[in-house]
Structure formats: structure tokens, C-alpha cells
A and B are shown apart, each in its own frame.
Chain A
Amino acid sequence: MEWRAGNRSVGEKLFDVFNYILLTVITLCTLYPLIYVLFASLSNPTRYMQHSGILWKPLDITFNAYRLVFDNPMIIQGYLNTFLIVSGGLAINIILTAFGAYALSRKGLRYRKQLMLFIVFTMFFSGGLIPLYFTVKGLELTNTLWSLIIPQAISAFNLIIMRTAFEAVPDSLEESAKIDGANEFVILFRIMIPLCMPVIAVMLLYYGVSHWNSWFQAMIYLQDRSLYPLQLVLRELLLLNDASSMASGASGGEVAVIGETLKHATIIVATVPILLVYPFLQKYFVKGALIGAIKG
């Protein structure tokens, strides 16, 4: 870019130096907690327990903790459940959001405005946690994975984003498709969605991350532990100090020691997938955040 060192005063140079240092510090502060967890997960548990202060490197590298994580049936089952929730949830999310967004983006539709208001209103007012709980319970969805999918089938916010994208597609494309005998389903799946792929990608990202990270619904709707998604298993392990149930194979006093590094290994195992996909999605989520911002 325009890097004209000659033109700059001492003050500006000083500012630049300060700015680079400050930004580096902020970046390191953001990154270090994760690095610390990574190092801790690779450390020998006993040495880690004795250690205090900043970790600069793993202490006696060992992959034992990871072996325990992958031997643990709760975590494996949690992964599996999360996988089912994310994949099933995404399919329903995308189809229903696209249906609503497409229908409401058609200018010929009667009561379009009223229907839109019907949906937008839910963003600002809700009946609250308890009535929703009874609704889900009344539909007998509790204690099934459906309780984590169906009640979150559509986000009004995402529907608005998608509708904006569909509205931007020129009407002439739709008209010529209609002349060729296409019905609305064909137009939606063969024209609209392929043309709006970047927005679909944003939707996949938003819905996917929210399914992957959700635990609260699972906590209130699920009793059966074999249905627990990964995040709920993590909560027991990380926040309720229930390491004993996790370190299967270890006995008595070992549990506390192994539990320490096991926690860290689990954090890494649970976080890596999302951190792996996110650099690839970065261009999309910037776009998504911006579309979202325009619409409030």
C-alpha cells in the first residue's frame, strides 16, 4: 500500500510502533489461553499439577489424555449426537428458512407485509422460557434429539437475511423460468438457491455454529444421558467437576490427576473442528455479519 516513510513525523512513527505493539499484545492475549490449554493437554499430568504460572511448552509431551478422550464412551456418544443434531438440524433449517424467505420475497403474494410482521414480531417478544418448555413437553419432543432441532427450525433473523438475498435476484429470471413451465419449488431450488450460494453458506455457518455450540436446550429437554450432545458432556466435565465419570479406566487418586489434563484434551478435541473450518468460512461470515448489520 502507500507506505511513505519519508512523509511521516516522529510522532506518527512513534504511534505506528505503539500501535503494532498494542495489536500484537491484544492478539497474543486472545490466543494465549487456547495455547495454554493445548500445552496443558499435552503435558504429563503430575508435572502439570506441580507447575504454576505461564506454560511456555508442554511439560513432558504425552498423548495419554487424548487416548483417554477417545476411549471415553460419553464423549464419543456426545460427538455422535452432536453430529446428528447438526446435520439434521441444518437440513431442516435451510429448507424451511428458504421456503419462508422465498415465499415472502415474492411481491405478488398477498398479505406479504402482514405475514412478515407476524414473523418479525417473534424477534422482539417471547412468551418466555417456561411456556416454551411446556410447549415442547406437550408435543412430547422432550427426551428426543428432535427437541434440539424442531424448536430451533427457523431463525427469524436468518429468514430476513435470506429474503433480502432472494429479493435481489432479478425478476426476469423467475419469469422466464415460469414460461418454461417451472413451478415455485423448481425456481427456488434450481435458480434462487444456486444464485444465492454465498448467503446459503452464511446460513449454514450461522445455524451450524449455533447447533454445534448449544447446550441449554439439551440440559432442559433431555434426561437420557445417552442423548447428550458434546457440549453437555463438556459441561459436566469442565464445570460440574465430574471428571470421575469421564476418566474410565483410571482408579481412585489417579482420577484427580488425570482429570486435569483430560479436561484440557477434551477442550481441544471439542474446539478443533470448529476452528478448522472457520478460516475457510471467514470470507462468508464477514459477508454474513454485514448483511445482518444492514438489516439491523
Chain B
Amino acid sequence: MAKIPPPTRTSIPSKPSNSAGLNPRNWGLLKDISKNRFLYIMLIPVLLYFAVFHYFPMYGASIAFKEFSPRLGIIGSPWAGWEHFESFFNGIYFWRVVKNTLLISFYELLFGFPAPIILALLLNEVRKAAFKRTVQTITYMPHFISLVVVCGIIKEFTMSDGLINDILAFLGWERVSLLLESEYFRTLFVTSGIWQNIGWGTIIYLAALAGIDQEQYEAAKIDGANRWRQMLNVTLPGIMPTIIILFILEIGRLMNVGSEKVILLYNPSIYDTADVISSYVYRVGLQEFNYSFSSAVGLFNSAINFTLVIGSNWLSRRMNKTSLW
């Protein structure tokens, strides 16, 4: 953008010089550094942090193409080419982890995504401020409870003598250890996710709802619209941009199913529905020490994810004229 030239730069001729140190551009940078030296001092630790803990691991991901041995290090290990990627794509777990990742994401989009919208719409119809505030305060709460505790509660409640089974048994169902049966994992994962995040998710929608012009409601009322019609024709279109942005962002996160929650909840008997790419990376890499193979899987995930983010941002820009960058 509009760069303000340093005031004393005019005397330097613009003729390109062979020596890099005398290049006018570098002169400008040096001047800038001396002028803003405190800003640069502030930036040093920040840039160092990103270089060491974000960019160096990106470089380190090259072990996905190597036969990594911790003894030889990242640079010293011999190259292996695409071998690890091939063995992942041809391996028996490839489809399982990809399918599980996509299915859990899909169910989260299908059920988890609309849940806070519905709650926000219901809350918006409440006129007693105290009631509304109480509902909000309580539904935000689980968002702040740690995942370990949430998973502990899930485990406790889903045991064959746990609360959920007590209720099911009371209704005449058979008792099952829900976390040991693979068919229930996705349901439990998504439902508990809704429990934990529904209230938190409403914040943005409630703000969007508050931003809708009240005159539109007046106009709709004069036209004889009842509250249902008002919701369909005024409220919903009013928050549509917010919904679309969040939906597209959600698609960008498709491959990032919460690995922490999966790792806390799963066990070998339900791997066939519970094992997702990121939990697989953790297990193969840090528990079974197949570092290179695991990095290849991780890199595959990062690459797809990156593509999805770029793609969804592009989509968001086209549809909304809003984008992340």
C-alpha cells in the first residue's frame, strides 16, 4: 500500500548498484530500522516464535519424505520419496480414517451447525430479559468446562450402569456400554459437541439479530405478517450473511475434527468409526514411533485442509464480498 518514503532519502540516486549493501531499497530499510528500532525490537521475539514453532515444523515436515531416524536428525536422514504417502494411500486404514473424518464433520455440519441458529432464533422471541439472560448464562457454561472433564462425564454417563442407560432401561431398552459400541460413537460425539457449544455459538447470531433494523418488523407487521412470517421474511434474511460466512468457515475446518476429543473418548473396540486422521497421526507417530509415516499422514491432512480454507475463502469472497484476506 502507500508507503511513506523516509524524508531524507532523496539524495540517493536511483541507479541500481551491484553491491547489495548500497542498494537504495536496503538503505531505506536500514533507515526504517533505526527510526522504528523499538518496533523492531518488539517484533524480534514475535517473529522468532513463529519461525521456530510454526515455520521450522513446516520445514521439519520434510521427514514425511525421509526415512527418519531421531539419531540422524531431520537433515541427516536419508530420502524416501513418496514411499510413506503411497503406503498410507494403499494401506488398510486409509479409507477408514478419511471416511470417519469426513462423516463426523458432515454430521457436525448437519446437526451441530444449525443448533445455535435455532437456539438464537428461539431466544430472540423471548421478551423477558431476565429469562433470556438466565438461559444464555447457563447454555454458555459448558463451553468453559475442560474437554477432559466433559469426556469424563460422557464416559460416566454412557457406561452400562450410567445415567443414560438407567433412563433407557426405564423406558424398556436394553443396557449397552455406548462407548464400546462403534455404532454410537458419532452420535455421542456430535450430541456432546452440541451440548458443549450450542450456547457459545449463539453469541454471534444474537448479535446479528440485534443488528436487524426494527423498521423492517414494523413494515412487515403493517403488511399483516404474523411472527412466523416475520421470522421467515425478516429475521432469517437478516442473519443470512452471518450464517453463510460461518458455514463456509466451517467447511474450511472439515478435516480438523477435534482430535483431542477423539483421543480422550475412543478405544480400540470402536476404532472403525472413531479413528480420524488426526488421532491416527498421534497414535502411529507418538505411540508407535512411525515418525515419517505419521508425518506423511499429517502433511496430507494439512494440505487438504489448506486447500479447503483457500477454497472456502474464495467462495466466501464471491458470495458475500467478505473474506478472511
CA distance A212 to B138 in the complex (A): 20
Complex contact B166–A110 (CB within 8 A)? no
CB distance from A278 to the nearest CB of B (A): 5
Chain B: which residue is nearest A99 at the CB level? B42
Q: In residues 266-325 of chain B, which contact A (Cβ within 8 Å)?
A: 278, 281-282, 285-286, 291, 294-295, 298-299, 301-302, 305-306, 309-310, 323-325
Decide yes or no whether A12 CB sits under 8 A from chain B.
yes
Instruction: Name the A residues within 8 Å of B152 (CB-CB).
Output: 234-235, 237-239, 263, 267
Decide yes or no whether B36 CB sits under 8 A from chain A.
yes
CB distance from B217 to the nearest CB of A (A): 11
Give the contact stretch, choosing among A15-23, A63-71, A83-91. A15-23
Chain B: which residue is nearest A53 at the CB level? B166
Contact of B45 among A96, A232, A238, A267 (CB under 8 A): A96
Instruction: Name the A residues within 8 Å of B298 (CB-CB).
Output: 127-131
Contact with B along A11-41 (1 / 0, CB 8 A): 1100110011011101101110110110000
Q: Give the secondary structure class of A's interface.
A: helix
Complex contact A215–B147 (CB within 8 A)? yes
Q: Do A130 and B149 contact each other (CB < 8 Å), given the known contacts A52-B166, A108-B4, A290-B204?
A: no
User: When A and B form their complex, what is the total count of cross-chain residue pairs whose Cβ atoms lie within 8 Å?
Assistant: 268
Complex contact A109–B153 (CB within 8 A)? no
Q: In residues 95-130 of chain A, which contact B (Cβ within 8 Å)?
A: 96, 99-100, 102-104, 106, 108-110, 113, 115, 118-120, 122, 124-130
Q: Do A239 and B148 contact each other (CB < 8 Å), given the known contacts A53-B167, A100-B43, A135-B56?
A: yes
CA distance A9 to B119 in the complex (A): 23
Decide yes or no whether A270 CB sits under 8 A from chain B.
yes
Contact of B127 among A1, A212, A293 (CB under 8 A): A1
CB distance from B25 to the nearest CB of A (A): 10
Decide yes or no whether B90 CB sits under 8 A from chain A.
no
Q: Do A270 and B203 contact each other (CB < 8 Å), given the known contacts A99-B45, A239-B155, A275-B141?
A: no
Complex contact A99–B144 (CB within 8 A)? no
| Top 3 closest pairs, chain A to chain B, by CB | A238-B152, A128-B298, A127-B57
Q: Can you offer 17 A-B residue contacts whose CB atoms are under 8 A?
A: A12-B227, A23-B123, A23-B135, A30-B142, A37-B156, A109-B32, A122-B50, A122-B54, A131-B63, A132-B53, A150-B53, A215-B147, A231-B148, A286-B203, A289-B203, A293-B204, A296-B323
